[in-house]
Amino acid sequence: MKPLSTDRLPQPVARRLALVLALGLSLALPALAQPAAKRVAAPAALAAKGSITYCATIDNPPRAYYDEKQQPIGFEVELGTEIASRMGLKVSWVQLKFPGLIPALQAQQCDALMQELFIRPERLEIIDMVPFSRTGQQIVVRRADNSPGTSLEDLSGRKVAVPNGTTIHNLAMEANKKLKEAGKPEINLVVLPTTTDTFQQLATSQVDAVGTTSTAGAYYVRLRPNDFKPKGSPFGLIGTGIGVRKGNGELTSAIKTALDGIVADGTYKAMIEKWNMQGMEL
């Protein structure tokens, strides 16, 4: 095919056509420059069936939950799907209650657990785990709050809602002991039954702040970015990992290799930012 010539076109038309061609080339070049995601060899059994099955609770936004069309969405859903894609696999999800996850994995009802599982020594005795994020505690305030400080002790004298019996509840009580010993006003704790209750009180200005998990904090900030914002970074962090059956080293290795590639090419960072999970990344 001969190259397109503008010599015989009227000058104004020729100029416009040249501009369009130049613009099209400039837009195409970045796309051509992007390297394709590196394919990871899937274990033979998974490659044969063409899919991987994950067990998860799918009730933990923004990590994993169902949208209005009852489709699983969230950070962990996207990450699990991307890991599978790099192994050339499709994904199936099995939703279970949290206590049933590890027994289901051991009973081979699924290939891996794509879930916010804390990496603890006792857990590593019964399953293998591939670290993929961290989780912890978070303070959330109203968007207009510009008060100084980012720690629990910095909330001295302020009204803070926490869910009853949670880690953040215990940490706030420990902070109050320190404040009392230092002769400072204690945090005015408002202990409520659920996380939903705490954010309702924050939204209606009944409390100054909410203490919650970093996962719940990220969810509510993303849900209502004009109303809420995090105060400081997550704290009390612990690693979370994808669970794999003991002895299934081939799958553990494949997941880790795929995840390493996702981190290296920036896909992981984009997912973290999309789901407002800054501070919970690897």
Where do you find CATH 3.40.190.10 in the chain? 44-133+239-274, 137-237
Query: What pLDDT sits at residue 165?
Result: 84
> Is 50 exceeded by the pLDDT of residue 146?
yes
Fold classification of 44-133+239-274 (topology level): D-Maltodextrin-Binding Protein; domain 2 (3.40.190)
C-alpha to C-alpha distance for 48 and 44, rounded to whole angstroms? 6
Tell me the H-state helices in the chain: 11-33, 44-49, 75-86, 101-106, 121-124, 167-181, 195-203, 214-223, 249-264, 267-274
The pLDDT of residue 7 is above 70: no
Q: What CATH number is given for 137-237 in this structure?
A: 3.40.190.10
Q: Say whether the peptide bond before residue 62 is cis (omega within 30 degrees of 0).
A: yes
Instruction: Please state, in angstroms and rounded to a whole number, the distance separating the CA atoms of residues 163 and 191.
Output: 6
Tell whether the model's pLDDT for residue 174 goes beyond 70. Answer: yes
Can you read off the two tokens belonging to residue 152?
């629990």
pTM exceeds 0.75, yes or no: no
Contact criterion met (CB below 8 Å) for 216 and 195? yes
**What is the predicted pLDDT for the residue at 194?**
85
Residue-wise pLDDT for 227-271, tens only, equals 999 999 899 889 999 999 999 999 999 999 999 999 999 999 999
- pLDDT at position 205 is 97
Sign of CA dihedral 272, 273, 274, 277: positive
* 8 Å CB contact between 135 and 232: no
Q: What local confidence, expressed as pLDDT, does residue 11 receive?
A: 56
Q: What is the mean pLDDT of the chain?
A: 88
Interval 80-95 mean pLDDT: 97
- 223: Cβ contacts below 8 Å, ≥ 6 apart: none
3 state DSSP class of 165: coil
100: its two tokens: 């049933």
One-letter amino acid for residue 261 of the chain:
G
pLDDT at residue 15 in the model = 53
Q: How far is CA 221 from CA 136, 143, 263, in A?
A: 16, 9, 24
**pLDDT-derived band at 31, boundaries 50, 70, 90:** very low
What's the confidence (pLDDT) of residue 265? 96
Please report the pLDDT score of residue 35 as a whole number: 52
